[in-house]
Structure 1
Amino acid sequence: MAETTKQQEDRPIRFTLTHYRKAGIAHEAFMKWIVDVHLPKAIPILRKHGITGYALFDTPATFNDPFREKMAFLHPTWQVADYDCIIEYTLPSAQTIENVMTDPEWIEAVQDQEDWVDTSKALLSVGYHTQYLSEGKVINLPQ
């Protein structure tokens, strides 16, 4: 990996993963599987590896379709993403991603994901997370 500065090392690392559901599966059923089936198996393993945050950003068509129509008018060159969700992890280090993905318990916990997730479309990103507005208050900006 590229070199990091001390300031970067002190910032939380965010790993995001976009997911599309498999064809033929309703969005609601997909999200229910993530929350009711996948998460109870996943969270103990995430905690074992020191992951301190997990958030699920649900993007249902009921929001995206009308939003897409508005954006076609407001910003015609912008595209509205069509994935079903973004999973956001807060990690102690980038190495944590590999540690989790190679953990035999994780491999077992995600063994049914191919039944639900179109993994060929997954989009991943990793970087530093810095919040600048929190509960209406400006933070982390030079004064």
Structure 2
Amino acid sequence: MATRVKLTLTHYRRPERTHEAFMKWIIEEHLPLAIPVFKRCGVLNYSLFETPAAMNAELKAGMGDGYRAAWDYADFDCFIEYTLNDVKDIGGFLADPDWAKSVEHQEEWVDTSRALMSIGYITPYLLESGEIVNVPNL
């Protein structure tokens, strides 16, 4: 299996918005406009990883004082993952005029000053099917 480019982005909602309303905006307003752009511009996969505060609090409480007590726990509202063949594909969707339409209300919903972006390569090793790939001697 080929190594792919992964672009990730964390989003915090604006403080005057609830987590539920924020996620509803992304799913019901932003994504219907953005997905066609992704399909046109070479985005192979888009995933939205929702991180509700209650789940994070429960996880942190479950770790207690011992196991992983020094770890910090994410407090953003969601983690977005884009999978692409090439870094150049990012410019394709960002330059698309329909992308601008899909994010025109972003400032009303997203605390962009706290967003965190990363880029790198993703190589699968264990697939959902249970198949092990890209691991020598296994």
Greater alpha carbon shift after TM alignment, 58-67 vs 132-141: 132-141
Distance in structure 2 (CA, Å) of the matches to 1:70 and 1:133: 27
SS in 2 for 1:126: strand
| Number of the residue aligned with 1:125 | 118
Show the 5 A alignment for 1:1-143: 10-73=2-65, 74-135=67-128, 136-143=130-137
Q: Shift of residue 120 of structure 1?
A: 0.7
Which structure 2 residue ranges, 5 or more long, are not aligned? none
SS, match of residue 132 in structure 1: coil
State whether residues 50 and 78 of structure 2, in contact with CA within 8 Å, keep that contact through their aligned partners in structure 1: yes
User: Deviation at 1:40?
Assistant: 0.2
- Which moves more between the two structures, 58-67 or 97-106? 97-106
What is the deviation of 1:79?
A: 0.3
For 2:117, the aligned partner's letter is L
Contact 2:33 2:98 in 1 (8 A): no
Aligned residues: 135
3-state secondary structure, aligned to 1:114: helix
TM-score of the superposed pair, with normalisation by structure 2: 0.90
Query: Is 20-29 or 126-135 further displaced after alignment?
Result: 126-135
Indicate the residue corresponding to 1:3 in structure 2.
none
Q: 1:103: Cα distance to partner?
A: 2.2
Determine what percentage of the aligned residue pairs are the same residue.
47
Distance apart, 1:68 and its partner CA = 1.7
* CA distance, structure 1, for counterparts of residue 119 and residue 6 of structure 2: 6
Q: Is the 8 A contact 2:46 2:80 kept in 1?
A: yes
| CA deviation string 1:98-123 (max 9, x = no partner) | 22222222112210011111111111
Aligned partner letter, 1:16: T
Alpha-carbon distance in 2 for matches of 1:66, 1:106:
36
Pairwise CA RMSD: 1.6
- C-alpha distance in 2 between matches for 1:63 and 1:140: 32
Deviations 1:23-69 (A, max 9, x none): 12111111111111110000011111011101110101121111122
Unmatched 5+ residue regions in structure 1?
1-6
